[in-house]
Amino acid sequence: MFDDKRPGARLIGAALVGVMIFGTALGAEAATKKKHKVVRHTRTVTLSYKGGCSVDTPEGAVSDTSGCSGFGGGGWEVPTQAGEKYVSVTVTDATGRNVAGAFWEGSGTNSTTTDFCGSMKDFTAGPGSVVLALDAVGARTACPGLATQGTVKLVFSNLP
């Protein structure tokens, strides 16, 4: 009459309840698990200059950064490293005044500039390199000083 090989209904029910409780515990752990937080990585580059590199007038701006840094002028092309998407700049001039400068994008007649006065936070850096020039002559940027002698501090980062 009784089949001794067949498990009882109570045993099967208890096993199902145990599996459901175990599954709920796993789901709760997955829901409360902390997500991986992205860490901010930075790299600092310090450059020295003696004089500016660009001519900035109301009609337009001209810069040839390729020859400026060789003579100590304030014009550079600084390579970016993998993952670097933003760059902040701070110019410290011997006069103590804020110095006008710009980040250059593109080349020739298609180039554009992003001007700054003394410093700028979180400029979006394109892949490859950033081109930066300080003004030797400037009238377009409302900045009190022109580059005489000092340092430029660039901080590259993966996050703003």
Question: Alpha-carbon distance 117 to 90, whole Å?
Answer: 9
SS (H, E, C) 78-130: EECCCCCCEEEEEEEECCCCCEEEEEEECCHHHCEEEEEECEEEEEECCCCEE
β partners of residue 154: 45, 89
Q: Is 20 contained in some domain?
A: no
Q: Is 100 contained in some domain?
A: yes
Whole-model pTM: value is: 0.71
Residue 29 CA neighbour count, 13 Å, CB half: 6
| pLDDT, tens only, 9-57 | 777 777 777 767 766 766 666 666 677 888 999 999 999 999 888 765 5
Number of compact structural domains in the chain: 1
Q: At 3, which amino acid appears?
A: D
- Containing domain of residue 82, as a range? 42-157
| CATH number assigned to the domain comprising residue 72 | 2.60.120
DSSP H or E run through 143? none
| pLDDT, tens only, 100-143 | 888 988 766 677 888 899 999 999 988 889 989 888 766 555 78
More confident residue, 2 or 32: 32
Q: Is 25 contained in some domain?
A: no
Q: Is 152 contained in some domain?
A: yes
Q: Is 51 contained in some domain?
A: yes
pLDDT of residue 51: 87
